[in-house]
Homo-oligomer: A and B are copies of this chain.
Amino acid sequence: MKERGLLIVLSGPSGVGKGTVRQAIFSQEDTKFEYSISVTTRKPREGERNGVDYFFKTREEFEHMIENKKLLEWAEYVGNYYGTPVDYVEQTLSEGKDVFLEIEVQGALQVREAFPEGLFIFLAPPSLSELQNRIITRGTESEDLIRNRMAAAKEEIEMMDAYDYVVENDDVELACERIKAIVLAEHLRRDRVAPRYKKMLGVE
């Protein structure tokens, strides 16, 4: 009878502040998302606990997970593997809890393939809007600088196409508020709510 939770994927260009926004969200008491614990092959640091901070695995175990499609997405950074375990995500969703992933753009594209019904939120740099002001007030900056920023902006805008929502990170608190509004609204979509009413009342 329990409604399946939503898979929320927060991503965006590197340096946009995904980690800061994620930390701010999880520091708020009214946050009801479950943070998806990653799998890694790096050694636990002082105080880190298995199953809380990370699921710690050997390279062999991790590669076994890759082969057996036990990872929603994975990547290798500085000689260590990092990934999102599909079983943990699936189990948490089936308990009716929303699962929150904060990952890189490449990882988000992998997740989209496995979970097209996920909620994909693109965190956009405020520099995109600022760029417009710079273009309007041309003259205070060199044409070259503007051209470079335009090139980066084009890439960022193209990235957005794989996402459902775009949240500008002009202010961390505002970004959190917007993300929470998106999740709340998604839970209220008629195509989610009406079947639940129909089911609970046995109405066709």
A interface residues, Cβ below 8 angstroms from B:
122, 124, 128-129, 131-132, 135, 150, 153-154, 157, 160-161, 163-167, 178, 180-182, 184-186, 188-190, 193-194, 197-198, 200-201, 203
Contact = CB atoms under 8 A, between A and B. Distances in A.
A200 B160 CA distance: 15
A188 B163 CA distance: 11
B189 A165 contact: yes
A160 B122 contact: no
Contacts of A194: 157, 160-161, 166
A188 B201 contact: no
A52 to B, nearest CB: 31
Contacts of A163: 190
13 contacts: A128-B197, A132-B200, A135-B201, A154-B201, A160-B194, A165-B190, A165-B193, A166-B189, A167-B188, A178-B184, A181-B184, A181-B185, A181-B188
